[in-house]
Amino acid sequence: METLILFTKAPLAGKTKTRLAKERGDDAALRLATAFLSDTAALCGRWRAAKSAVDANRRLVFYVDPLIEDPILVDLAWKAGARLEEQRGKDLGERLRHAFDAELARGSRAVCAIGSDSPTLPLHLLDHAFRALLWERVIIGPTFDGGYWLVGAQRPAPNLFDNIPWSTAAVVARTTSLLRTQGLAAHLLPFWYDVDEASDLERLVWHLKALRADLGSHGDSIQGPDGPVAPATFQALVDIGLVHSTHLPTPAPGGTPLEPR
């Protein structure tokens, strides 16, 4: 059995995406956080339902804070086929350790955790992570800011979360150093990005526009090889004026739009 944990917060005005809120305001930050969560939950649901899994027995759990009964979380969990659990612990490290320990105790051979800050994450990277855990003890998916988009471990999980300086550029470095003290090395997955600040938001907008042009998508959706790419996020960016819904792919020579590949 393999378990994917979505570690997330209920989207609440004034308490969500506070760094983005400083640049874009509380309303825009809430719209984006809700959209990121929606797209990530849908991605997790597709992972759970995938028929090409190495381990067909897949379990999906949303560990949430602070409101397990939040209607948005309840609805997204139901649609994705996820169980809802409350985060427990004084800090992020304690909460992650509790979640890993609880799921491994329920019989999982491997557990991975992601957040809801990477709405464009492709499904194949989640599959890659669990395949790597067939032979690797610990895996980390690094982000460009020094953190990680995924952390995973086989049973029994080593000490991964003690004394980590969360929300800094030293998260991956400190985690790998902690593993070395236990005689272990982390297998690194491909880099991806999360969206916490204004510069991250610029990357997200650029990425979605580039995907739209490259894939020849029209209208208000982008269809990638793994399925729809961040539809709620794309709509949120339209709503706050960062993307135009009438944006079309770059015309091919002759003046006609590019055809989908």
Residues 78 and 96: their CA atoms lie apart, in Å, by: 22
User: Which two tokens mark 211?
Assistant: 């995907």
Are 41 and 89 in a shared domain?
yes
CA distance 76 to 160: 28
Task: Tell me the C-alpha distance between 215 and 211, whole Å.
Answer: 6
- Do 205 and 147 sit in the same domain of this protein? no
Convert the pLDDT of each residue in 58-88 to its tens digit.
999 999 987 788 899 999 999 999 999 999 9
Tell me which of 166, 188, 210 is where a domain ends.
188
Structural domain contains residue 246? no
**Contact (CB, 8 A) for 97 and 161:** yes
Give yes or no: residues 230 and 146 share one domain. Answer: no
Q: Are residues 144 and 218 in the same domain?
A: no
Query: Do 39 and 68 reside in the same domain of the chain?
Result: yes
Q: Are strands 227-228 and 187-188 parallel, antiparallel or unpaired?
A: unpaired
- Rounded distance, CA 244 to CA 187, Å? 39
- Among 91, 89, 241, 70, smallest CA distance to 164 is for 91
Question: Which one of 161, 188, 215 terminates a domain?
Answer: 188
- Is residue 261 one of the residues assigned to a domain? no
Which 3 state secondary structure label does DSSP give 211?
A: helix
The model carries a pTM of: 0.88
Same domain, 150 and 221: no
Strand order in the sheet with 148-154: 83-86, 58-65, 2-9, 110-114, 148-154, 138-142, 187-188
Q: How far is the C-alpha of 121 from the C-alpha of 95, rounded, in Å?
A: 23
Find, among 117, 82, 86, the residue nearest to 197 by Cα: 117
The angle subtended at Cα 226 by Cα 210 and Cα 148, nearest 5°, is 75
Same domain, 141 and 181: yes
Same domain, 44 and 166: yes
| Residues 156, 222 share a domain | no
Is residue 258 included in any domain, yes or no?
A: no
The predicted-structure confidence for 116-147, as pLDDT tens digits, reads as follows 999 999 999 999 999 999 999 999 999 999 99
Average confidence (pLDDT) over 84-100: 95
Extended beta strands in the chain, E state: 2-9, 58-65, 83-86, 110-114, 138-142, 148-154, 187-188, 223-224, 227-228
Q: Are residues 14 and 115 in the same domain?
A: yes
> Collapsing DSSP states into helix, strand and coil, what is residue 103?
helix
Query: Which of 4-18, 121-135, 144-158, 244-258 shows the lowest mean pLDDT across its residues?
Result: 244-258
How confident is the model over 179-191, as pLDDT tens digits?
A: 999 999 999 999 9
Domain count, the chain: 2
Do 87 and 142 fall into the same domain?
yes
Give the distance from CA 62 to its chain's centroid.
Answer: 12
Domain ranges, residue 235: 198-239
For residue 117, the number of C-alpha atoms closer than 13 Å in the C-beta half-sphere is: 25
CATH of the domain at 71: 3.90.550.10
Q: Is residue 248 part of a domain?
A: no
Backbone φ and ψ of 178, nearest 5°: -60, -40
Tell me whether residue 238 is exposed, middle or buried, using C-beta atoms within 10 angstroms of its C-beta: 0 to 12, 13 to 18, 19 or more: middle
Helix (H, G, I), strand (E, B) or coil at 170: coil
Q: What is the pLDDT of residue 219?
A: 54
Q: Is 24 part of any domain? A: yes
- Any domain includes 167: yes
- The alpha-carbon radius of gyration of the chain (Å, integer) is 19
Residue type, 74: V
For residues 39 and 82, membership in a common domain is answered with yes
What is the average pLDDT value for the chain, to the nearest integer? Answer: 87
